[in-house]
């Protein structure tokens, strides 16, 4: 039975405090968690207050178009769901419900390797009109990795998104303290055999701290280099994105390696603590890439105006993570859909106020950097 969707929230920023108390402590801790002292996760959200929008007046905004193009596909909004593990912990519809919500609203979704519903089932839920990409961890067992890539290709996924910022998990104190594990009634559906009977499974079971962290550490290949991109390009015809880029040097190297796109990300503030916020490095990444490939960005996006700032600084689209989990927790599939719909409505509204009827018109002229306000802008932009 579908959950009744609460109407007590007016925007995406409000829903976390409503959703978290409804979850068991270990699950809430995993979803809200961060690494280290939480410097990066806090700064990521704060970064949106540092960059200011510079509107234009007397522009015809009687019609506002929120659509964008990604991998040759028109999306009705530049908002995709970020890859997040174990969404069935929030609601039984999990990843399938989110896939249906994104299809209905004309967005897209990146499915996690660590999903609790198989990539084939999620593809079936999205249907032929859905836009799905598959997030991939390159495992020590390359044959298992290759099998997942081929499954995603057969199921109709549009791209492979390789996470490159996790040679091991960040130090997540809350997960260790609460001994977080995938709940016994759920499974990591894309890794079912490895979760059931493998050295990684035994490591997870025997851990006195976070069983999930121990399982993950035993699975992942920490010796990866850019060679893995060459290897992946050799086993699939799907476009390959790399997720977790913060350095312009890495962005240039990614383009040189033949990737089809870049995701600027701090892994939700859950990997190395003390790194810069994705929004702050985005313009440098955009200049390094120079339009060669699309750029996606995630981290801290809660408002339509946040989306505008990302796009003005060079992103093609944004990824939204935790708010989707809160929507699922509060209202299942309808809750996830409400979160996406709220963001899309705010985006359309704020585009009109900014004076841009089309996303294609956005550029750095519509944004003020944090360094010194309006007086720091070149005269041509005043």
**For residues 198 and 353, which has the higher predicted lDDT (pLDDT)?**
353
161-179 b/e with 16+ CB inside 10 Å = b?
A: bbbbbbeebbbbbbbbebe
Closest CA to 236 of 321, 326, 339, 155: 155
CA distances from 93 to 36, 105, 180, 331, 333 (A): 32, 17, 21, 10, 7
Q: Say whether pLDDT at 378 is over 60.
A: no
| Binding site feature residues | 30, 83-85, 112, 135, 137, 163, 172, 243, 265, 267, 270, 298-302, 321-322
Question: Which residues sit in the known binding site for FMN?
Answer: 83-85, 112, 135, 163, 243, 265, 298-302, 321-322
Q: Decide if 185 is catalytic.
A: no
Q: What is the reported pLDDT for 170?
A: 87
Contact yes or no for 319/294 (Cβ under 8 A): no
Give the per-residue pLDDT at 216. 83
Look over the chain and give the mean of its residue pLDDT values, rounded to a whole number: 92
Q: In whole angstroms, how far apart are CA 38 and each of 29, 51, 181, 219?
A: 13, 21, 21, 26
Confidence of residue 215 (pLDDT cuts 50, 70, 90): confident
Residue 300's pLDDT is: 96
Q: Average pLDDT in the 23-50 region?
A: 96
Question: Is the confidence at residue 194, as pLDDT, over 90?
Answer: no
200: Cβ contacts below 8 Å, ≥ 6 apart: 194, 215, 216, 218, 219
pTM score over 0.85: yes
Going by pLDDT thresholds of 50, 70 and 90, the confidence category of residue 197 is low
pLDDT tier at 377, thresholds 50, 70, 90? very low
pLDDT value of residue 180: 92
Kindly tell me if the per-residue pLDDT of 376 is higher than 60.
no
pLDDT of residue 160: 98
88 burial via Cβ count (<10 Å: 0-12, 13-18, 19+): buried
Tens-digit pLDDT profile for residues 118-158 = 999 999 999 999 999 999 999 999 999 999 999 999 999 99
Span 98-124, average pLDDT: 97
What does DSSP say about strands 240-245 and 295-298: parallel, antiparallel, or unpaired? unpaired
pLDDT of residue 374: 41
C-alpha R_g of the chain = 20
Catalytically annotated residue among 267, 303, 337, 344: 267
- Judge whether residue 244 has pLDDT over 90: yes
Coil/strand/helix, residue 211: helix
Give me the helices (H) in the chain, please: 15-19, 25-32, 39-50, 94-105, 119-126, 142-155, 173-177, 192-196, 199-206, 211-219, 227-235, 248-256, 278-289, 304-312, 322-354
Least confident piece of the model among 5-19, 165-179, 211-225, 368-382: 368-382
Q: What is the DSSP letter of 274?
A: T
State yes or no: pLDDT of 240 exceeds 70.
yes
The lowest-confidence range among 111-125, 212-226, 285-299, 340-354 is 212-226
Long-range contact set of residues 13-18: C-beta below 8 Å, sequence gap at least 24: 13/302, 13/303, 15/323, 15/326, 15/327, 15/330, 15/339, 16/322, 16/323, 16/326, 18/326, 18/330
pLDDT at 373: 45
% pLDDT > 90, the chain: 82
Residue 8: is its pLDDT beyond 70?
Answer: no
Strand partners, 106: none
The more confidently predicted of residues 74 and 1 is 74
Binding-site annotation, residues for glyoxylate:
30, 137, 172, 267, 270
């Amino acid at each position: 039975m579908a959950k009744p969707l609460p109407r007590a929230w007016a925007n995406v920023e409000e829903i976390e405090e409503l959703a978290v108390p409804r979850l068991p402590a270990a699950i809430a801790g995993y979803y809200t968690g961060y690494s280290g002292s939480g410097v990066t996760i806090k700064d990521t959200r704060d970064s949106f207050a540092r960059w200011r929008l510079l509107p234009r007046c007397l522009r015809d905004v009687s019609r506002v178009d929120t659509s964008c193009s990604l991998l040759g596909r028109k999306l009705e909004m530049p908002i995709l769901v970020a890859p997040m593990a174990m969404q069935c912990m929030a609601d039984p519809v999990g990843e399938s419900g989110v896939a249906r919500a994104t299809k209905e609203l004309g967005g897209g979704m990146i499915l996690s390797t660590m999903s609790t519903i198989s990539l084939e089932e999620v593809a079936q839920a999205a249907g032929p009109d859905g836009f799905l990409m598959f997030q991939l961890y390159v495992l020590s067992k390359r044959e298992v990795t290759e099998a997942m890539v081929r499954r995603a290709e057969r199921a109709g996924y549009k791209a492979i998104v390789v996470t490159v910022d996790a040679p091991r998990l960040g130090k997540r104190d809350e997960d260790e303290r609460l001994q977080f594990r995938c709940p016994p009634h759920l499974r990591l559906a894309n890794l079912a055999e490895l979760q059931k009977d493998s050295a990684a499974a035994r490591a997870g079971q025997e851990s006195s701290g976070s069983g999930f962290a121990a399982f993950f550490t035993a699975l992942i290949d920490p010796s990866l280099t850019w060679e893995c991109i060459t290897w992946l390009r050799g086993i699939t015809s799907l476009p390959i994105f790399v997720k977790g880029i913060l350095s312009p040097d890495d962005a240039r190297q990614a383009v040189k390696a033949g990737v089809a796109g870049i995701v600027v990300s701090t892994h939700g503030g859950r990997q190395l603590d003390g790194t810069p916020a994705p929004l702050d490095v985005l313009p440098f990444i955009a200049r390094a890439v120079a339009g060669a490939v699309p750029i996606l960005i995630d981290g801290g996006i809660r408002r339509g105006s946040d989306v505008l700032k990302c796009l003005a600084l060079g992103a093609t689209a944004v990824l939204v993570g935790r708010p989707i989990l809160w929507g699922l927790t509060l209202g299942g599939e309808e809750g996830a859909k409400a979160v996406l719909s709220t963001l899309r409505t705010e985006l359309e509204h704020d585009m009109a106020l900014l004076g841009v009827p089309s996303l294609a018109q956005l550029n750095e002229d519509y944004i003020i950097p944090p360094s010194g306000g309006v007086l720091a802008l070149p005269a041509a932009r005043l």
